[in-house]
């Protein structure tokens, strides 16, 4: 029952983000962001399911391949919500940071990394079997591996950088949407290489090597 409740809550949260985006950013940006986010989530998690060093998904009601449908909505909603919060923080406290191409993506990465902690720990992802890490994972907070905040934050940074650059290019809105959605496949590759590299560093540091 936990899985069904979690899936419904994530989908509802994503739908609220879509409504907000449609009202404030328009249909093209909304289509690009949330279709791209869904593709990112589903393709990435299918690839992750093939990697024994990362996590698995044993307890979900709906899957596309090996990826729970929830992950497509979950990545999209977390990226969007953290991006919107970060924009407000930058505008209020460090407007000059918003002028740099990496400014808002960096704050979004930090915000998303912070979000990962209550999701993984306080919300009980391990206990509800949203996803399960192998015993070899490096743990620092209860059952949360140290890689988690870095993984979430890195994904947000890459996604927002690609989105802002592609959607601001000269071209028709439709073309920009298509280019961005396809580019999420590049984001996935870069992100997974980054995750495995960071994980290797963490293992090296914690093993005393």
Q: For the chain, what is the domain count? A: 1
Structure tokens at 131: 């996803």
Q: Which residue has the tokens 């191409």?
A: 101
Q: How confident is the model over 30-71, as pLDDT tens digits?
A: 999 999 999 999 999 999 988 887 888 887 888 999 999 999
pLDDT in tens, 141-172: 666 788 899 999 999 999 999 999 999 999 99
Residue with tokens 């949330």: 34
Residue with tokens 């992950």: 71
Residue 180, pLDDT score: 98
**Which of 125, 176, 136, 114 is CA-nearest to residue 53?**
136
Q: What percent of the chain has pLDDT over 70?
A: 91
**CB atoms inside a 10 Å sphere around CB 183:** 19
Q: How far is 73 from 67, CA to CA, in rounded Å?
A: 11
Give me the pLDDT at residue 208, please. 62
Answer whether residue 115 shows pLDDT above 80.
yes
Residue 124: what pLDDT? 58
For the entire predicted model, the pTM comes to 0.94
Question: Where in the sequence is the domain holding 67, given as residue range(s)?
Answer: 2-206
């Amino acid at each position: 029952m936990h899985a069904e409740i979690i899936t419904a809550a994530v989908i509802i949260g994503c739908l609220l983000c879509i409504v907000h985006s449609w009202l404030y950013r328009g249909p093209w940006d909304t289509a690009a962001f949330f279709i791209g986010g869904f593709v990112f989530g589903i393709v990435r998690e299918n690839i992750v399911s093939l990697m024994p060093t990362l996590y698995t998904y044993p307890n979900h009601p709906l899957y596309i391949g090996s990826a729970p449908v929830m992950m497509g909505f979950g990545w999209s909603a977390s990226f969007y919500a953290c991006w919107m919060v970060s924009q407000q923080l930058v505008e209020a406290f460090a407007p000059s940071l918003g002028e740099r191409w990496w400014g808002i993506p960096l704050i979004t990465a930090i915000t998303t990394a912070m979000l990962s902690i209550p999701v993984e720990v306080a919300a009980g992802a391990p206990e509800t079997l949203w996803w399960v890490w192998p015993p070899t994972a490096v743990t620092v907070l209860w059952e949360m591996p140290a890689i988690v905040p870095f993984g979430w934050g890195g994904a947000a940074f890459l996604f927002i950088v690609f989105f802002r650059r592609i959607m601001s290019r000269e071209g028709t809105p439709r073309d920009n949407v298509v280019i961005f959605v396809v580019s999420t496949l590049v984001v996935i590759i870069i992100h997974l290489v980054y995750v495995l590299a960071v994980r290797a560093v963490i293992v090296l540091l914690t093993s005393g090597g």
